[in-house]
Structure 1
Amino acid sequence: MGLSRKEQVFLAILGASGVSGLTALILLLVEATSVLLPTDIKFGIVFDAGSSHTSLFLYQWPADKENGTGVVSQALACQVEGPGISSYTSDPAQAGESLRGCLEEALVLIPEAQHRKTPMFLGATAGMRLLRQKNSSQARDIFAAVTQVLGRSPVDFWGAELLAGQDEGAFGWITVNYGLGTLVKYSFTGEWIQPPEETLVGALDMGGASTQITFVPGGPILDKSTQADFRLYGSNYSVYTHSYLCFGRDQMLSRLLVGLVQAFSNFYYTFHFLNLTSGQPLSTVNATIWEFCQRPWKLVEASYPGQDRWLRDYCASGLYILTLLHEGYRFSEETWPSLEFRKQAGGVDIGWTLGYMLNLTGMIPADAPAQLWAVSYGVWVAKVVFMVLTLVAVVGAALVQLFWLQD
């Protein structure tokens, strides 16, 4: 005697539910794979307290780092209002108060939960080095005022210190080479790689009160006081670095002019004004500077309206830079085209602060990326589909059974 129609439907639904349920069970047994979630972002704040102005730089990097060193990017550059902190000898408290505005801008960009984990450092350069030589008690009072203000901030204040000239030059060298991608760069294969050492470049910097030269020499460094050693991205570097105090632009011009107020990375800004940053030969640089210096002053004023504040200094500073590079550092007609005058490299401001932060990341423990176990999207969708089909089949079988009993 054959099965009735209802019995056939019931058995078919029951069989379908069994197959669907077995398939779902098999998919549940598919091995999950490890998935690494994106790492958190860490932050760091550095104040560059120069001779005639102070700047704040906010940096960020993935918390897992790359071969022991953070891959750092610049998140904020803020110019502190007013002169450099060495100018506040008559009112030291104001030196600290002047920093609040830029600090508040940086704190807005850092998640509140990250504040206590964010290191902050103030490095004072040649202006404060000169002040300490002239009047050490005034320098101490200014550092105390700065420390009092920054120490009360919600971040991890690492101190306010006088940065040695050699450190300023060495950290500036790191910044330049990092920005140019000669320390580490992202390859087409999606990996961080280290370029050949031959691609490293030297760095020249000129501030208001000092000038620095730093490079990897071709042989051993005989005077160890001019040697700086670093370990970055798993490699060791030894550079020659020397800082010449009182040979910065402002200090030089103060012997010629009265009331100088400009402060910048003066190699770039002076040569940018003279349109000499594009690798022109030394003869062209020399001719351009002398031609500018020989113009009548009224013609110069008429040619560059709105630039009265710095216009009077470009002749003297141009001649000084030309003399320093040609007569002092011995750049000749043949080697001059190797010089590049830049304000930024790789999207970051050139100076010692990024180099300091890169070196600092080596001392900050890395955070391991969070790990989850997961299956592929296709397997997950299949699981859901077969579980739903199993549920529908079971409910369908139950309904057939229910109507069967009612009959």
Structure 2
Amino acid sequence: MEDRKDSELKTFCSRNILIILGFSSIMAVIALIAVGLTQNKPLPENVKYGIVLDAGSSHTSLYIYKWPAEKENDTGVVHQIEECKVKGPGISQYAQKLNDIGTYLTECMERARQVIPESKHEETPVYLGATAGMRLLSIENEQLADRVLTMVTESLSRYHFDFQGARIISGQEEGAYGWITINYLLGKFTQKLTWLYLKPNGGDVQETYGALDLGGASTQITFVPQDKHIESPNNALHFRLYGKDYSVYTHSFLCYGKDQALRQKLAKDIQGTNGTLSDPCFHPGYTTVMNVSDLYEGPCTKRFEMTLPFQQFQIQGTGNFQRCQESILQLFNTSYCPYSRCSFNGIFLPPLQGDFGAFSAYYYVMNFLNFTSEEPPSQEKMIDTMEKFCSRPWEQMKIYFGDVKEKYLREYCFSGAYILSLLLSGYHFTADSWKNIHFMGKIQGSNVGWTLGYMLNLTNMIPAEEPLSKPLSHSTYVFLMVLFSLILVTAVIIGLFIFHKPSYFWKDMV
């Protein structure tokens, strides 16, 4: 009888202990989950903003960037949230109407005031970088270029942002910042650590993309060559980004942007005519009249300048792609090369290496011509398409592309032919390397161009050494903590049960 009571007592105690342990375990799990969820709850947004104005030769664009304030040195966290195209031409065209510059920039700066929270205005840096259009104006009249920048500075300083200055960036800088932008957005500068903290070995380092930039007045090529020795020191740049050294080749061809290249071609071709130019780079039936003085305006056409017996000339389109290319190729001097290998005009060019991102006018022109698919068409297909496109009558073009502004539509034949000539004959891309060119407009929502790289450099957001980073995200850490806690609690319960009821355990084992 006494043994029976003792057995019932033990059973009662064991049951209550298990209930208590079970309840405690459930409460512990609930607490762990609650702590994890609370810890992982997003904090109030703490962000920073930056504004960069790209003052190009043909237009100005304003870009607004945003990034988490606590992650300035992590790759890929800066992204573009707004783009505003300033109405009107490039700022170099305001050299004779300086008082209009303030009004010129007002609409986009007001847009920036609306997009960026007012509490962030005073700490938001504003940068204006002027490119080839202002470089040309500075060559022609440095004092006038300085006055344009002074008026831009006065205009932008009126806003309650942290204005950091307006300056003309060099062609080398433009190429370098474009290269930084592409590779930053593609995540080519850093390697992610594994959760075991294993560093990737040297063979796992990602190969960077080259950058091909085409504007209205200049064009840039920038890439990391296989041979780190660059024969022309003026074309060499050295970066240390995220703990890795990069020896970069870059060159900017001033006057070889698509607009200035067209002016050069016209200035060359008008020689020896009677005032009527039959031009194969314009569609059949297209006609326009141009002043000779306007053609010779600026430094790019000075080498072709001569006294002509007429003040105006007429362009009559004939629409022949092959003849258009022949005329364009005469702009590239390939007869002289003081190095082991050159592009054109005696400029050193190492062997092309890796993939290239082609952006700005490259993308806009090729996108219009439907050449920007993921699988780029072969050279033969592009040439065949261009031959058909250029031969289409102008009246038919205006009807078919009625929504495209005439000043753009009339030049797509020339621009397409110029891009092919520049890439194939100027930079020596071949049938094999052609497939490595990727025409890019945006990467992850951010425009591809020099502006993001410019801001990253000026705000020191790309460190020389790779920042330390945790191998696990916070959510993964919480998940693993909960999982291991459940395993631990289960093990404790089973251990206690075995300790208090060994007979059940041995009975099951038998």
Shift of 1:70: 7.5
In the other structure, the counterpart of 1:346 is: 444
Q: Can you list the C-alpha shifts for 1:213-250, whole angstroms capped at 9, x where unaligned?
A: 01111112232322233343444433211100000001
1:52 pairs with 32, 39, 58, which one?
A: 58
Contact 2:210 2:222 in 1 (8 A): yes
Unaligned runs of 5+ in 1: 1-22, 367-375, 377-407
**Structure 2 counterpart of 1:215:** 223
Cα distance 1:164–1:277, how it changes in 2: closer, same or farther (>3 A)?
A: same
**What is residue 254 of structure 2 aligned with on the other side?**
245
Contact 1:227 1:241 (C-alpha < 8 Å) held by counterparts: yes
Structure 2: segments with no counterpart, 5+ residues: 1-23, 267-289, 296-358, 468-477, 479-510
| Alpha-carbon spacing, 1:102–1:66, altered in 2? closer, same or farther (3 Å) | closer
Amino acid at match of 1:267: Y
Question: Residue 43 and residue 229 in structure 1: after superposition, are their counterparts in 2 closer, same or farther (change >3 A)?
Answer: farther
> Which residue of the other structure, out of 37, 40, 47, is the alignment partner of 1:41?
47
Question: Does 1:360 pair with 2:458?
Answer: yes
After TM superposition, list the pairs within 5 Å mapping 1:271-310 onto structure 2: 271-278=366-373, 279-307=376-404, 308-310=406-408
**1:145 to 2:154 alignment:** no
User: How far apart, in 1, do the equivalents of 2:136 and 2:449 lie?
Assistant: 20
Q: Is the 8 A contact 2:59 2:86 kept in 1?
A: yes
Percent pairwise identity: 48
Letter of the structure 2 residue corresponding to residue 200 of structure 1: T
Structure-2-length-normalised TM-score: 0.60
- Any conservation in 2 of the 1:69–1:232 contact (CA below 8 Å)? no
Give the 3-state SS of the residue equivalent to 2:63 in structure 1.
strand
- Structure 1 position 118 matched with structure 2 position 124: yes
- Structure 1 residues 316, 188: CA separation in 2 closer, same or farther (over 3 Å shift)? farther
2:180, 2:454 → 1: CA distance?
8
**More divergent stretch after superposition (193-202 vs 67-76):** 193-202
Partner AA of 1:265 in structure 2: S
Structure 1 residues 196 and 154: alpha-carbon distance in aligned structure 2, compared to 1, 3 A threshold? farther
CA positional deviation for 1:142? 0.5
In 2: Cα distance, 1:128 partner to 1:319 partner = 26
Q: Which residue of 1 aligns with 2:502?
A: none
Query: Distance in 1 between the 2:76 and 2:162 partners?
Result: 18
* Cross-structure match for 2:317: none
Aligned to 2:277: none
Of residues 228, 250, 257, the one that matches 2:237 is 228
Counterparts in 2 of 1:226 and 1:68: CA distance versus 1, 3 Å = farther
Work out whether residues 73 and 461 of structure 2, in 8 Å CA contact, stay in contact via their aligned partners in 1: no
* Structure 1 residue 113, shift from structure 2 partner: 2.5
Whole-angstrom distance in 1 between the partners of 2:126 and 2:204: 33
- For the residue of structure 2 that corresponds to 1:203, the secondary structure is strand
> Does the CA contact (< 8 Å) of 1:68 and 1:362 recur in 2?
no
1:308-331: CA deviation from partner (whole Å, max 9, x where unpaired): 332211111111111100001111
Q: What is aligned with 1:91?
A: 97
The match for 1:179 is 185
Query: Conserved in 2, the CA contact under 8 Å of 1:226 and 1:242?
Result: yes
Aligned residues of 1:61 and 1:70 also touching (Cα < 8 A): no
Distance in 2, matches of 1:156 and 1:53, equals 23
CA distance in 1, matches of 2:365, 2:74: 38
Give the whole-Å Cα distance in 2 for the aligned partners of 1:306 and 1:61. Answer: 37
Query: How many residues of Structure 1 are paired with residues of Structure 2 in the alignment?
Result: 335
Counterpart of 1:342, as a letter, is: M
Q: Which amino acid aligns with 1:232?
A: L
Alpha-carbon spacing, 1:228–1:69, altered in 2? closer, same or farther (3 Å) = farther
Relative distance call for 1:143 and 1:336 in structure 2 (3 A) is same
Tell me how large the CA RMSD over aligned residues is.
Answer: 3.3
Residue 320 of structure 1 corresponds to which residue in structure 2? 418
Which residue is 1:391 aligned to? none
Which letter maps to 2:261? M
Corresponding residue number in structure 1 for 2:213: 205
Report the CA distance between 1:102 and its aligned residue: 0.9
Matched residue of 1:204: which SS? strand
Which residue matches 2:327?
none
**Relative to structure 1, is the Cα distance of residues 109 and 298 closer, same or farther in structure 2, using a 3 angstrom cutoff?**
closer
Q: Report if aligned partners of 1:169, 1:214 keep a CA contact under 8 Å in 2.
A: yes
Q: Which amino acid aligns with 1:320?
A: Y
Please name the residue that 2:86 is paired with: 80
d(CA) in 2 for partners of 1:305, 1:265: 23
What is the rounded CA distance, in whole Å, between the counterparts of 1:160 and 1:364 in structure 2? 22
Shift of 1:181: 2.8
Aligned positions of 1:160-199 closer than 5 A: 160-184=166-190, 196-199=204-207
Matches of 1:121 and 1:63, distance apart in 2: 19
Alignment of 1:267 with 2:365, yes or no, is no
Q: In terms of mean alpha carbon deviation, does 179-188 or 277-286 score higher?
A: 179-188
Partner of 1:12: none
Q: Distance in 1 between matches of 2:192 and 2:124?
A: 26
- Give the residue type in structure 2 aligned to 1:228: L
1:301 offset after TM fit, Å?
3.0
Change (3 A) 1:105 1:326: same
CA distance change for structure 1 residues 83 and 188 in 2, over 3 Å: closer, same or farther? farther
> Does the 8 Å CA contact 2:76/2:185 hold for their aligned counterparts?
no
- 1:98 counterpart SS class: helix
